[in-house]
Structures are given as C-alpha cells and as structure tokens.
Structure 1
Amino acid sequence: MERGTMQALITSAAIAVPSAVGLGVMAPEVLGILYPAQSDEVAVCIAPLRWLMAGMVCLCVSYPLFSMLQAVGKPAAPLKIMLFGTAVKLLGNLLLIPLMGVSGAALSTTLCYVGILLLALRAYLKSSGLCLPFVPFGKTAYSGAMCGGAAFLARSAAYRAGASPFTALIFSALAGAAVYIFLIRGLIGRLR
C-alpha cells in the first residue's frame, strides 16, 4: 500500500512540478505567444499566473489522494475537504483582492489548494496508518527548482543572443527538461 501510494503521489508531483516551475519562469513568453495582440492584458496576468503555479502542484497531487481516500473507506472526506477549500478561497478573495487585485485572487486559489492537499494527506495517512518518507518529495522539488533555474539561464542566454520570444521559450523548455530528466530519472526508477 505504501509503495502504491508513493508511486501515485510522486508520479503526480513529477509531472506537475516541472510544468508549474516552467510556466512560472516562462510566464511572459507563454502569455505573449498565446495572446500576441493583448500586450496590456498579458502584462497584468504574469504575476497572477506565477502565484497560481504552487496551487497547481497541490491540486495535481491532491486528486490521487481523493481516490485513495475513497479506497480506504472515506468516500465523504473529499467532499468535506473541498468545502473547506471553498471557504478558504472565499475568505482569501475577500481579504486579498482588495489588497492585491488579480494577484490576490490567484494567491487565494493557491492557499485553497494548499489547504486541500494538506487536509487530504492528513486524512489519508490517518485512515491508512501509513507513514510516508519525505525525501522523494524533496528530490522532486529540488529537481523542479533546478529545471526552473536551467530554463531561466537558457532564456537569458537566448535573449542575449538576440532570439525571439518563441525561440527563447523553446530553448528554455528544452534546457529545463534536460536538467529535470537528468535529476529525476533515478527517483522514478526506484518507484517501479
């Protein structure tokens, strides 16, 4: 049961972490390519998109936990946890939007998903009696951070060489992916 739990959670994190880090680092380029005619809107959306990325990771990891909670006989727990998350989101919106604007809404969403993940993990560990090691999650986070650093450095080098935003995006994504795969390959191999 512990091995299956770790496989599900690490696989979710291994996909979500580099996606979130990469999108956070490359937010201006991604938004600029997707919405080339709306530069003012893109400028406003860069910071909120970055605020959302930590929440995205938490959301991706919490979904397998919801299935696992149902498997250990707690089918009502995900609903209760989501209701708590909704309350956090509402309270966060009321407090943070007046202070931070659109970024406040993004931050309240991230806080909502962090709360959901923590409650789901707590409920699952309590119900299953498992004690999961933290090290694989730390390695995943470290690999994701290095992925983001490589993407940032590659983007900077591409712009110094006179590259377009699209070329810088591709170059950064490839550099980040190469570093991430190099660092994470051993961890994923051990989970099989």
Structure 2
Amino acid sequence: MVEEQLALRGIEDQRVLDAMRRVPRHEFVPEGAERYAYEDHPMPIGDGQTISQPYIVALMLEAARIGPEDVVLDVGTGSGYAAAVAAELGHRVVSIERHPDLAVTAAATLEALGYRVNVVTGDGTLGWPAGAPYDAIVAAATGPAVPRAWPQQLAPGGRIVMPVGHPGGAQHLAVFERGPDGALHERNLGAVAFVPLVGDDGWTS
C-alpha cells in the first residue's frame, strides 16, 4: 500500500509514509472486510460514513505538516483510522464525531491498539474549544466553507485541511494556513469526493 499507492503517487513526507506503515488499517474496517483494507478506495463503515482511501489520508496529513509536538483536531472520527495516523505524527489528538455509535467503536479500537486519542461526540463544525489551540485541524467531510469556530481555535501558523464544496457535486481539497498577518491563505490540492460536513456551521444533512 505505502509503496504503490502513496510513494509512487507523490507522497514524499517520510514521517507520513512511516506512520501509514505502522497503523494496521485492517483493524479499522468492518468485520469481514479486512482483506480489502489496504486497497486504495474508501469503504463504508456505517451511518452513511466511510473510511477514506489511504492516498487521501496520506495527502491530507502530509498537507497538515504535523510535527512531533503538535496538537491536532481530527474532525469526523469515523473508524478512527486517520486519528491513529495523526497520533503517530503529533503530540496530542482530539477527534470529534457526531455519530455516538461510531465514536464509541472508534474509541474502543484506538484504545485497544494503544493510541492515546481523545475521542469526543459533538458537532465538528464547532470544533472542540477545550483542546485548543490546535496546530492542525483536519476534516474528513466537505463543508461549504471553513467553519467560523475553527480559525478561533487555530494556533499561530496553524493549518486547516478540509474538502470544500457540495456533497455529490464539485469539491476540492483545500489547505488554509494562518500567515504572519493572522489571515488564512488557501491552497487547492485538487478534486476530491467526501461525505458532507453536517452541523450548525456546515450542511444540514
């Protein structure tokens, strides 16, 4: 997976590649689907949610530039896979999921594998102020724009990586970086397809 789907497709950050090697992706997919875990496509995990394809997880985390001392907010826990990879890269990870059953399952999987991720249930569009400030905010769902609460919880020089666009329509993966002037500067990483970011400051469904 790492060599053929990530490195050959342009993922260059060695820390990200090593983290993807270490995390057992088959532990995060539904029972009976383990043999497909390392294929490069998203997989359904219940509640209308998916575990993102490995390449997209690597691309987002590479763009987030998570350092060993960084604090990360992972929006849309899902299976917990991306949170596990982020935990390999950073110092502390808070992961927020709006579906209580997915949050419980993901937290149990992460704990069983030894990942110290604080999984919380709530509206991801509001962030999680108790864990702020965050050096990186990474979202696994597409929103109409950056939710208003996220920049308020972002550290100086912090990065937001999220898909932007309509569910089922045109979306692009965006990186927003806080510059010295405090403003967010956007970079487009290309077309993607994600489930909707649902919440008070996202889509309604």
Per the normalisation by structure 1, the TM-score is: 0.25
Greater percentage in helix: 1
Greater percentage in strand: 2
Q: Which has the higher contact order (CA 8 A, sep 6+)?
A: 1
Per the normalisation by structure 2, the TM-score is: 0.24
Q: Which is higher, the Rg of structure 1 or of structure 2? A: 1
